[in-house]
Amino acid sequence: MSADSTALGADRTSGLAGRFANWNVAIIAVTVVVLIVAAATVQNFGTSQNFGFLVLDLLPIALVALPMTLVIVTGEIDLSVASALGLSSAVMGYLWNSNQPIETIIPLCLLLGAVLGAVNGFFVTVLGLPSLAVTIGTLALYRGLAFVVLGDSAVADFPALYTDWVTGSIGGTSIPNVLIIIVALAAVFGVTLHATPIGRAVFAVGASEQAARFAGVRPGRLKFWLYVVSGLVAGLAGVLWTLRYSSARADNGAGLELAVVAAVLLGGVSIFGGKGALPGVIAGVLLLASLQNALRLSDVSNEALNVVTGVLLIVSVLAPNLANAVRGSLQRRRHRTDSTPRPERRH
């Protein structure tokens, strides 16, 4: 009985365990291959300077993908994250323009993010509306409010102390400072999902909300707080985005929800909820970001890059289903050949 063989962080079970472990291994392998190929063929990809850029590029995707993983595992979705990021950035610019100290602005933006998440949570858990429709609504609403706040102007000249820290690296190394934030938050979310009672509840709710309720889990409350956290992290991502480019704009991060959802699904999280693992998601983010980075270095335009992201998104949800279908038909065939020659064994 190898019950102890449950892989680290893999909240799933033998039959599925194999399949999902495969998916994680495959994603990590593909990521490594992409990194190697890119380093070998794309000029400047392997440089330490580019590593810094790569980390800065994947920063917002990685941060927002962490709470998104939990939200999707519970069987919901949050499409409003990019707009919450934009609104946070716009408000940051507005407040900075009104000469507020940056030390007040940053906590306010984080709070704003949490409030935006709470609005989603309210509609989804209190009114019981489908999260897809709600967050499409708030996607438009939050982005719209961002434009109301800042129009199409941009605010710059944020304090160098902060912008330099975001774009800078640790000591004399080429490890970017923001990597600390990514690693710290990834650890927090990874541990929460895979090694706390909250994580157990997240998986249970995603797999069967009713059965979870019968086991004493409060799905509404859980989802509400996940949306709050999702908003909070989007607010933080808005602050970091603004500091990185030293430019607060209403359209900051527009369309980022695609990359985030793509990365999470690419990481093996089931869009139907109940299944997924954070290490896979990290690999998904890295794969997506390095592909984009490599293509950008090869002078592919930003808009054309979206083709790659879109295709990856579709492939990531299509692949497991196709694999299942193929496996299913193989099994059927095997079963048929198994059973037909031995009718005499039936009693």
Name which of residues 138 to 197 contact other proteins (CB under 8 A).
138-145, 147-148, 151, 191, 195-197
User: How many CA atoms, within 13 angstroms, populate the side-chain half-sphere of residue 191?
Assistant: 5
Name which of 10 and 178 has its Cβ closer to other proteins. Answer: 10
| Residue 211 touching other proteins (CB under 8 A) | yes
Q: Where are the alpha helices (DSSP H) in 215-253?
A: 219-245
x/- map, 82-121, other proteins, by CB under 8 A: ----------------------------------------
How near is the Cβ of 210 to other proteins at its closest, in Å? 5
Question: How many residues in the shown chain lie near other proteins by CB under 8 A?
Answer: 87
Q: How far apart are CA 271 and CA 315, in angstroms?
A: 13
Name which of 57 and 76 has its Cβ closer to other proteins. Answer: 76
| Residue 18 touching other proteins (CB under 8 A) | no
C-beta neighbour count of 295 within 10 angstroms:
18
| Residue 37 touching other proteins (CB under 8 A) | no
3-state secondary structure of 15: helix
Contacts of 126 (CB under 8 A, 6+ apart): 220, 224
3-state secondary structure of 209: helix
CA-closest candidate to residue 249, choices 120, 86, 136 = 86
| Residue 228 touching other proteins (CB under 8 A) | no
How near is the Cβ of 107 to other proteins at its closest, in Å? 24
Q: Which of residues 288-347 bind other proteins (CB under 8 A)?
A: 301, 303-311, 313-314, 317-318, 321-322, 325, 331, 335-336, 339, 346
How near is the Cβ of 319 to other proteins at its closest, in Å? 9
Count, in order, helices (H) and strands (E) of the chain.
13, 2
| CA-angle at 16, arms to 15 and 21, nearest 5° | 115
| Residue 42 touching other proteins (CB under 8 A) | no
> Which of the stretches 56-64, 155-163, 240-248, 269-277 binds other proteins when contact is defined by CB under 8 A?
269-277
